[in-house]
Structure 1
Amino acid sequence: MKVLYISGMYPTPVYPQKGIFCHEQVKALKQVNVDVDVIVPITIYDKEVKQKVWDYEGVKIKYIRFFKLPGVKRYENIGKFLYFSLILSGINFKKYDVIHADAPLPAGDAALRLSKKYQIPFIVHGHGLDVFFDVSYKNAPNCQKIIECCMKVYEGADAIVGVSQKVINCIQERMDIQKKSYVVFNGVDVNKFYPTDKITKEKYILAVGNLISIKGHDDTINAFAKLVNSGVTNIRLKIAGRGPLELELKRLTVELGISKYVDFLGYVPYEKIAELMRNAFLFCLPSWYEALGCVYLEAMACGIPTIGCYDNGIDEIITDGVNGFLVHGKHYCEIYNKLLMIEHNIYSEVSKNARKTVEKQYTWLDSARKLYDIYQDVVRNC
């Protein structure tokens, strides 16, 4: 089975943690004997990527530049522009059995055009809840055209994969995709993320995620402040990630009088994240707009109690009080009630169940095997 994997969410030499979940997926596909070539589209004005090819952890990545004006202007045409760049790249597309596109634009639209030209089946893989881009571009004058372009991609796809049922539901609400939709959860490398005895003397709660609104870091900080003010002062809060809300979140810790208990770690390499998780006492990310979130699975694999949100992809995996904890988005008092339990010994069984849950069906190999079955189905039915 030979697959062309097109993804704009993929590591670069400058930012190797970008889209690391896609890279882990590709590595797992190779382990189940899928021959994968990776194409990463980058805009003509992108200054981050200097090279055309990068061999990273046994995966050969080819960066293809395509035309796109800054901002949202003509965004509905970027798939067409990427298609032209791919045609001119000299790639022999006829050697592929399947094209795997991450997201409908630009990869999905380009894959649709390649599929028609070379008669190759393609799948679209949805990693986010904004499946029609009408949240990201709701104020753009061409938003409706962007939506229509996404719909054409879904209509033309041989299979549509979502990282959670929530993703599939977001598409199904507008168009019928039941006969060709699949849920393939992301996974975790259980050999990299695993439980261990705490080697640090410092007791801390960990949050990992970009410093943006949807991640709910402000709710975590408010809940943590309430915990500290209740008398629990033998624990810290560590937040790993960078983003536009960094100064605002730091100011919040000062206003709440807890800045001396909170560490903003900024960008943290992937390997260091695993170490931070292994030594944390609890993971908290009350993200209220999340298709799934690999960090939850990674925390669970490390056997630490994990807090996520209801009505997001992770609630398809976490059962509250059994293998993790769930709260409603934007309700920091609910988070506080979960944090209160850190002073009691009720986390032990939850931690064990979290690890068992991941080991049973949420490794990257589990994910890769399901994708392989989908590839076979679309080739067989082509």
Structure 2
Amino acid sequence: MEHKKIKALMIVEQCNPTFPSVPFVAYNLFKEIDRIVDVTLVTHERNRDAFETKTDHKKVIYISQGDFNTKYYNFVEGFATKGRINWPLYHTLTYPIYGEFDNKVYQQFKQSILRGDYDIVHALTPMMPRYPHKVVKACTKTPFLLGPVNGGLPFPSGFQETAKQESANLNFLRALGRSLIPGYVETYKKADKILVGSAYTLQMLKDMFAIPNDKTELFYENGISKDFLSRAKNASDGSKVKLLFVGRLVPYKCADVVIEAISHLDKEIQDKISLSIVGDGSERANLEKQVQELNLGDIVNFVGWINQQQTLEYYSQSDIFCFPSIREFGGAVVLEAMACGLPCIVANNGGIAEYVTEETGFKIDPISREYLVQEVMDKIKLLVKDEPLRKTMSIKAVERVQEFEWERKAKRIVAIYQELIEAKRSFS
């Protein structure tokens, strides 16, 4: 079958070229898939303005939100995001908004799916593995692809204080939701294939639903753009080895671990390095106080939030990426750093540790905060002292990240479309 003949219905509630995180990841996947096959995109009304100003895609159907849910969302936004965002509570309370979207999609597309108007139905978001897709009921003759989904990762046992700060005590709401939400189990049981964004989540779903191996595939949701891949790393001026952290300044991202690790370095090493922290968040004031108390003001620079293009400049001018986040699913910043030739120091827990290999950086088991600090310090020291190792890891990082280019990922998904379509036809 020629790729252009595939008619795909893509259900992507969160899909937006101007929003960060999941909506932007979903948009990049959709955009590249749309170059290859005939896509009808179904998304939320909130994405309309961005699509109509940023893209020329015509087959977009927007699902509107009722007045009650609009008011309800504003209430939840104010209630669950005061100060530090309480994510478990936020995701639980906002489920009715997704539920309305899901039900409207089913009502609007049930008959066209049953008629066979589409060769495949692909539900791409939400990416957290806690949401049902009612359209699976209509996919009796049309293959249904789910994902990539990713999530469910617990905090390491040695970081319970950080878990409390992130309201992890409310994570029981996940399991409660899975048992109470109609259609959740059916979605995973009836899906023809499930793409999963991390090894942990893959095993979790297999255990929960007894899913056979041939119905799942490890498929990292994050990718890298040609802008990053074509960006040559700027030559160092030789004055300092430049360390970089990019991410939200919240407890589990562990920027404080990098700062403390630097404070334990010998003065000889400290004099050779600088650290730029790009990002903002609830922990910024605490981190600035930490830097002041440790007398690291001449080494550590807080950049704040900057746009993607400016962040790219920091990547290309740096030498080492330090990102010991202890509970990271996607971690696109690690791919961006690798694309710019930076050896990466990460925590070995979640998706980011699956990007980094022994040739491209270091993965540290998050046994405890003290252990993580010590190991980050040791790895920084090693990379600062061993310039040939830095250069070798830089080359290997760029080679490794080619696998994550959006176009390449889209081609794999289209190949999966073909496999599922052929399998369904053979079965019929």
TM bucket, shorter chain: 0.7 to 0.9
- Would you say 1:23 and 2:27 are equivalent positions? yes
1:165-204 alignment runs, 5 A limit: 165-177=199-211, 178-185=213-220, 186-193=222-229, 194-198=231-235, 203-204=241-242
- Counterpart for residue 116 of structure 1: 137
Q: 1:18 to 1:317 in 2, by over 3 A?
A: closer
Q: Structure 2 length as normaliser, TM-score?
A: 0.74
The residue identity in structure 2 corresponding to 1:3 is A
Aligned AA for 2:263? A
1:141 CA displacement: 8.1
**CA separation of 1:59 and 1:106: change in aligned 2, threshold 3 A:** farther
Q: What RMSD over aligned residues (CA atoms) do the two structures have, in Å?
A: 3.4
CA contact (8 A) 1:159 1:181 kept: yes
1:381–1:55 CA distance, 2 compared to 1 (3 A): farther
- Please state which structure has a larger fraction of its residues in helix: 2
- Contact 2:344–2:362 (Cα < 8 Å) also in 1: yes
Please point out which of 245, 248, 265 is paired with 2:283.
245
Residue 196 of structure 2 corresponds to 162
Q: Quick one: distance in 2 between partners of 1:375 and 1:107?
A: 23
Cα distance, 1:305 vs structure 2: 1.1
Q: Identity of paired residues, percent?
A: 22
Match of 1:64 in 2: 63
Contact preservation (8 Å) 2:247, 2:279: yes
Please report how far the alpha carbon of residue 206 of structure 1 lies from its aligned counterpart in structure 2 after TM superposition: 1.1
Structure having the higher Rg: 2
1:54 paired to 2:88: no
Q: Which amino acid aligns with 2:224?
A: V
Shift of 1:301: 1.7
**How far apart, in 2, do the equivalents of 1:372 and 1:319 lie?**
27
Query: Which whole-Å CA distance do the structure 2 matches of 1:74 and 1:310 have between them?
Result: 31
* Structure 2 residues not aligned, in runs of 5+: 1-5, 81-88, 155-165
CA–CA distance in 1 between the matches of 2:406 and 2:327?
Answer: 23
Conserved? CA contact 1:7–1:38, under 8 Å: yes
Distance 1:52 1:198, change over 3 A: closer
Any idea what the Cα deviations from partners look like across 1:86-109, whole Å, max 9, x if unmatched? 367799954433222323679952
**Contact 1:11 1:17 (8 Å CA) reproduced:** no
Classify the secondary structure of the residue corresponding to 1:174: helix
What does residue range 308-323 of structure 1 map to in structure 2 within 5 Å?
308-320=346-358, 322-323=359-360
The separation in 1 between residues aligned to 2:336 and 2:357, in whole angstroms, is: 16
Please say if 1:227 is aligned against 2:249.
no
- Number of equivalent positions: 369
| 3-state SS of paired residue (1:263) | strand
Q: Quick one: which amino acid aligns to residue 11 of structure 1?
A: N
Distance 1:197 1:215 in 2: 27
Post-superposition Cα deviations, 1:7-39, rounded to whole Å, max 9, x if no partner, equal 4544364x46664322222233234x1233444
**Stretches of structure 1 lacking an aligned partner (at least 5 in a row):** none
1:34 aligns with 2:37: yes
Describe the SS at the equivalent of 1:129.
coil
2:157 aligned partner: none
User: Are the counterparts in 2 of residues 40 and 62 from structure 1 also a CA contact under 8 Å?
Assistant: yes
